[in-house]
Structures are given as structure tokens and as C-alpha cells.
């Protein structure tokens, strides 16, 4: 099936540092979504990207839809302790109703 | 406005037992989804529904059945539970596309 490969698997950073993570696929996606999951909760949408080359920001978060449509990047600037969690990329395949998720990037922020 | 709720929050089953997980949403969403999440893995789509009375298979449908008799509810059934179905199950709903999904808090299921 379709695979979304996320890297890195985990990150340990100091508060105030910037963070970059990415998601790649061997197949083309028409939409890229970035979710964050806090412990014991369901994922929450952070940013949605719908167009190749699109760069979208949401506060300290910035995400880009790769030109090849096979990758996407998420950057977090000036990290804070509440950024801790698991970040997932996701995208719909086939008929746009079948969603695929990456394995996630686990972020730890040291105060 | 409760959003997406799931019942129960926790459940332990013995191999071969059956159970039903209930998902309810109060946002009048057409689309509803069931995922499972295993350690170190992302969410995998089990089944989904694009409207009342409709269901479709996702990435990992084997061993599960679903029903959408009412627009606000989406039920996930396990007819004969297996240890491989030990997981955290999430329900989600969305407006008119698969894009921006709202997730429930999850159900932690253990099959012994």
C-alpha cells in the first residue's frame, strides 16, 4: 500500500530551538496534512496543504508542500515545552477518502 | 458541543469474544472513520463512511465490521477478537471531504 515515510523518528531539543521534520512518499499526493497528537488524546490538525509549492504558516509552525508532490516539510520555530508530542503527516489517496498516516515524529522539548 | 466521543474508553477482551465500539459526533459531519494505532506506527484506516447507510473498507479492514445506521453514529464491531487486535482505536469525522478530520479521544482495547 501507499507509504508515508517520516523522519526523524524522534527529536530531543532544547526550549527555544527550531525544529524541522519531513515526510516523503514514492507516490504523488494531492494534499498534505500535518497533525499533532498529545499523550492520551486523538490527533489535532495543525496545517493543511493543497497545492504543490504551497507554504503555509500557523503561528510558529510553517509547512511546505513539495514541488514534486511527493514530500512535505514541517518547521517549528522557537520551540516551547507544550510542543511536546507526536507529529504526523497524512494524506488522502485514491478516491480522496482513504487516508494514510506516517509513523510520526516524537518531539521532546527540554526546558 | 461535545465533538467526537467514543465509548468505551478502555476494554479488555478474551480471545474469541465480540464487542462493539461506538463513535458519536454532534457536528453533523457526513464522513466518519475508524483507525487503529499501534506503538511506533501511525494511524491505519480500518473502515470509513461517506454518509448514513454507507461504509467502505480502508487499509486494514480484516476482522472488523462497521455500520452507519444514523448519521451521527459509526459503530465498529469485532466478531471474534484476536490478540493482534490489541490497539488504540480512534474515530474521526469530517465535513465534506477526507481532509480536516476531528478525532475522538480513543478506545484502548486489550485482547488476551
The answer to whether A20 faces chain B, any CB pair under 8 Å, is no
Which of A38, A97, A103 is the best residue to mutate to test the B interface, defined by the most B CB atoms within 10 Å of its own CB? A97
Between B100 and B23, name the one with better pLDDT: B23
C-alpha span between B68 and B72 (Å, rounded): 8
Residue B98's pLDDT band, with cuts at 50, 70 and 90, is low
Residue A2 has pLDDT above 60, yes or no: no
Q: What's the gap between Cα B32 and its chain centre?
A: 8
Ordered DSSP codes for B71-104: TTEEEEEESS--GGG-EEEEEEEESSSSSS-EE-
CB atoms within 10 A of CB A50: 12
The answer to whether A66 faces chain B, any CB pair under 8 Å, is no
For chain B, give the percent of residues with pLDDT over 70: 96
Pairing of strands B73-78, B65-67: antiparallel
pLDDT digits (tens, 9 = 90+) for A49-80: 999 999 999 999 999 999 999 999 999 999 99
**What's the Cα-to-Cα distance from A57 to each of A24, A53, B11, rounded to whole Å?**
20, 13, 40
Residue A92's pLDDT band, with cuts at 50, 70 and 90, is confident
The whole-number pLDDT of residue B37 equals 96
CB contacts of B90 in chain A (<8 Å) are 42-43
Beta-carbon contacts of B40 under 8 Å, excluding residues fewer than 6 positions away, are: A103
pLDDT digits (tens, 9 = 90+) for B22-62: 999 999 999 999 999 998 788 999 999 999 999 999 999 99
Pairing of strands A105-110, A10-14: parallel
The whole-number pLDDT of residue A79 equals 97
Residue A41 to residue B48, Cβ atoms within 8 A: no
Residue A1 to residue B100, Cβ atoms within 8 A: no
CB contacts of A101 in chain B (<8 Å) are 35, 42-44
Nearest one of A21, A5, A29, A90 to A62, comparing CA atoms: A21
Mean pLDDT of A19-46: 93
C-alpha span between A98 and A67 (Å, rounded): 23
Residue B100 has pLDDT above 80, yes or no: yes
C-alpha span between B38 and B28 (Å, rounded): 29
The answer to whether A15 faces chain B, any CB pair under 8 Å, is no
Residue A1 has pLDDT above 70, yes or no: no
Helix (H) or strand (E) holding B25: strand B19-25
Residue B105 to residue A41, Cβ atoms within 8 A: yes
**What's the Cα-to-Cα distance from B11 to each of A43, A88, B27, B43, B89, rounded to whole Å?**
21, 26, 26, 19, 11
Amino acid at each position: 500500500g501507499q507509504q508515508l515515510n517520516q523522519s526523524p523518528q524522534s527529536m530531543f531539543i532544547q526550549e527555544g530551538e527550531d525544529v524541522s521534520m519531513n515526510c516523503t512518499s514514492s507516490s504523488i499526493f494531492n494534499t498534505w496534512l500535518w497533525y499533532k497528537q498529545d499523550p492520551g488524546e486523538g490527533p489535532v490538525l495543525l496545517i493543511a496543504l493543497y497545492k504543490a509549492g504551497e507554504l503555509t504558516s500557523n503561528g510558529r509552525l510553517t509547512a511546505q508542500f513539495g514541488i514534486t508532490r511527493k514530500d512535505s516539510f514541517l518547521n517549528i520555530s522557537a520551540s516551547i515545552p507544550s510542543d511536546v508530542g507526536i507529529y504526523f503527516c497524512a494524506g488522502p489517496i485514491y478516491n480522496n477518502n482513504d487516508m494514510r498516516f506516517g509513523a510520526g515524529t516524537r518531539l521532546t522539548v527540554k526546558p | 458541543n461535545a465533538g467526537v466521543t467514543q465509548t468505551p474508553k478502555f476494554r479488555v477482551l478474551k480471545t474469541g469474544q465480540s464487542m462493539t465500539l461506538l463513535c458519536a459526533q454532534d457536528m453533523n459531519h457526513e464522513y466518519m472513520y475508524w483507525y487503529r494505532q499501534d506503538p511506533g506506527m501511525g494511524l491505519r484506516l480500518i473502515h470509513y463512511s461517506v454518509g448514513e447507510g454507507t461504509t467502505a473498507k480502508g487499509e486494514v479492514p480484516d476482522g472488523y465490521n462497521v455500520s452507519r445506521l444514523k448519521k451521527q453514529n459509526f459503530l465498529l464491531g469485532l466478531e471474534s477478537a484476536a490478540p493482534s487486535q490489541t490497539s488504540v482505536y480512534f474515530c474521526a469525522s469530517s465535513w465534506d471531504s477526507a481532509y480536516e478530520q476531528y478525532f475522538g479521544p480513543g478506545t484502548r482495547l486489550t485482547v488476551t
